[in-house]
Amino acid sequence: MDKLAYHLNKKKKPSKTEGKFLYYYPCNSADKANYRVGDKKYIVIEVTENEWEALRELDRFEYNNWHKVYRHNEPFPIDEEMLSPREQQKWINKEIPFTTLSIERLDRVRALGTLTVQERKVYCLCVDDGLTQKDIAEYLGITQGAVSTTFNRARKKLDAYNTSKDNAPDDIVWALWKIFMRDYELPDFLDVEIEFVIRGIFNDLIPFINWFYSIGELCRYILWYYLFDEDRIRQDIEKYLSTATQEEQEYFKDYYGEQVPIIQGVYVRLCMEVKRREANRLQDSHKAIDGVYTAVEKIAKRLNLSVEECLKQRLYPYLAEKRKRRLKEFYRYYTGKKLHE
C-alpha cells in the first residue's frame, strides 16, 4: 500500500471535469506515469464521486490488511527505522506492478460504485474483512437481519453489474457460472432454460462430456451459445448437415428433427466442436465423469454408504427437489398459476 497515494486520495481533490475527482494510482518505471512526487510515480485518473467513495473504502481495507499481514508474517527488518519511506514501502508491497492490478481494481471499484454507502460497507466488511454477520451488526450498530438483507441486496446489484451487456461475453459467462455455483440458480430463470436445452440432448450428453475437461466447461459452452450465438442456429445446422455423413444426417433427422431450433443448434454445435477437437488431435476421456464419481465416492464414504446408495438416497433427491422448485417458480412467474404435481 503506497502511503503517499493513500494520503493524496484522502484529500478528495476535484478534477477539471465537473463532478469528478482525482485518484492516484502508484506505478513503476514500466508504466506511463502522468504525475510524479520525487522518485515516486503515479497514474492519475478521473473518477465519479461514487467511484471515489468505493476506492477509498478499498484503500482503507487494503491499508489495514497489508500492515496486518506483513507485521504478523514477514521478518521484521532490524534496521527498519533507518530505511527511507521509499525503501520501507518496497518492503511492504513488494513492488506489485500497476499494470497487474489496475484493470481488475478499477472494475471492482466501478462495481462497488453501484452500491449505496451502507451496502458497500456491509459487503466489504463481509467479503474483504471476513467478518461474521454478528460482528458486522455490532460494528455498524444495526440488526443482523439488516446486515443479511443489505448484503443480499448488494450482491444482487453486483451480479447485475457483472452480467450486464457492457462486459465481454467471456466475463458474462464466467460471472453467471459463479452465480450458479453459489446459488444453484441463475437470474431471470436462465438456469431453467439451459436445463430445458440439456434435457433435449440428454441421450447424447455422456459422449459430449467425454470431450470436455469438466461438466462445467460443457455447461459454459452451451450457455455461451445460448446467449451469444443463437442467431446462428440455422446457419450452423446447414453447415453441419452439408458435411455430415449419411448416418449422421439420418440420426439428426430421427432424434432432433422435431426438436425446437435451440436444441437442434446446440446439438450440431457440439458435434462440430467435437470434430474440431478431433482434428486438433485431442482425445476424449472419462476425466469429467471420473471426477464426479470420485467426489461422490468421498461423500459416500463419510456417510457410510455405497456410491450407488449415495446417489439414489442423497444426491438425486436433493437435485430433484431443487429443480422441481425452480420449475414451479418458473411456471408461476410466467403464468401466474401454480404448477400441480
Q: Map grid coordinates 422441481 to a residue.
A: 324
Whether residue 329 has pLDDT greater than 70: yes
pLDDT at 76: 42
Q: Residue 165: CB partners within 8 Å, gap ≥ 6?
A: 172
Q: Determine the 3-state secondary structure of 22 from DSSP.
A: strand
pLDDT at 280: 84
Closest CA to 199 of 22, 327, 337: 327
d(C-alpha 218, C-alpha 239), whole Å: 21
Closest CA to 148 of 136, 163, 162: 136
pLDDT at 53: 80
- Backbone dihedral region for residue 27 (phi beyond 0: left; psi -120 to 50: alpha; all else: beta): beta
Closest CA to 69 of 61, 80, 77: 61
pTM for this one? 0.68
Provide the residue count of the chain: 341
Closest CA to 122 of 102, 138, 106, 104: 138
Give 78's pLDDT tier (boundaries 50, 70, 90): very low
What is the spatial order of strands in the sheet that 40-48 belongs to? 20-27, 40-48, 35-37
Q: How far is CA 25 from the centre of its chain?
A: 25
- Count CA within 13 A, CB hemisphere, residue 2: 21
Per 3-state DSSP, what percentage of the chain is helix, strand, and coil (rounded to 5)? Answer: 70, 5, 25
Q: Residue 244: CB partners within 8 Å, gap ≥ 6?
A: 252, 271
Rg of the chain on CA atoms, in Å: 26
Closest CA to 243 of 276, 211, 218: 276
Q: Map grid coordinates 492490478 to a residue.
A: 101
Q: Map grid coordinates 455423413 to a residue.
A: 245
Is 39 or 265 the better-scoring residue by pLDDT? 265
Q: What is the mean pLDDT of the chain?
A: 83
pLDDT at 336: 86
Whether residue 261 has pLDDT greater than 90: yes
Identify the top-confidence range among 72-81, 192-201, 331-340.
192-201
- Domains belonging to the chain, first-starting first, are 3-169 (1.10.10.10), 190-335 (no CATH)
Q: Determine the 3-state secondary structure of 166 from DSSP.
A: coil
Three cell numbers, residue 132: 461474521
Is 104 or 338 the better-scoring residue by pLDDT? 338
Sign (positive or negative) of CA dihedral 94, 99, 105, 106 = positive
Quick check: 154 and 146 in contact, CB under 8 A? Answer: no
pLDDT at 90: 46
Sign (positive or negative) of CA dihedral 116, 119, 123, 125 = positive
